[in-house]
Amino acid sequence: MLEAILAFCGEILLQLVIEGLTELGLHSVTEPFRHRPHPGMAGIGYLLFGALLGAVSLLVFPTHFAQGPWRIVNLAVTPVMAGLLMCQSGRWRAHRGQDVLRIDRFAYGYLFALGLALIRYWFAR
C-alpha cells in the first residue's frame, strides 16, 4: 500500500514539476506574443502542449509511477491538483503585481495537466 501511495505521489510530482517549469518558460517568452488568442483555441493549445510534454516525459520516465487501479486515480486527481496549484500560482503572481498568464488559471492548468496525464496513461508501461 505504501508503495502505491509513493508511486502516486511520484506521478503527481512529475506533472507538477513539468507544469511549473512550463509556466516559468512561458512567462519568460510571452513578451513578443502579446496577441491573445480566443479562449477556446488557447485551451486546445494548452491541452496539446501538455500532451506533447507528456510524450517527451516518456523518453525520460517510460514507466508509469502508479500501477494498477492507481493509474485511473492518478488520471482523475492529478490534473485537478495541478490546476489548483496553477490557480494559486496565478493569485500569488497577481498579488505581487506580476503578469498572469492563462496557464495561471485553473481551467488552463487543468487542461495542460490532463493532456500530459492522458499521454502517460495511454503510453507509459
State how many domains the chain has: 1
Q: What pTM did the predictor assign? A: 0.74
Alpha helices by DSSP H, 30-105: 39-60, 70-95
Domain that holds residue 21: 2-27+38-123
Report yes or no on 49 lying in a domain: yes
8 Å CB contact between 20 and 104: no
Give the mean model confidence (pLDDT) for residues 14-35: 67
Q: Using one digit for the tens of pLDDT, what is the confidence trace for 40-87?
A: 888 888 898 889 899 999 999 999 888 888 889 889 999 999 999 999
60 vs 6, 14, 54, 83, 115, CA distance in Å? 19, 11, 10, 23, 17
Selected residue with higher pLDDT from 12 and 37: 12
Report yes or no on 33 lying in a domain: no
Report yes or no on 42 lying in a domain: yes
Task: Look up cell 491573445; give the residue.
Answer: 36
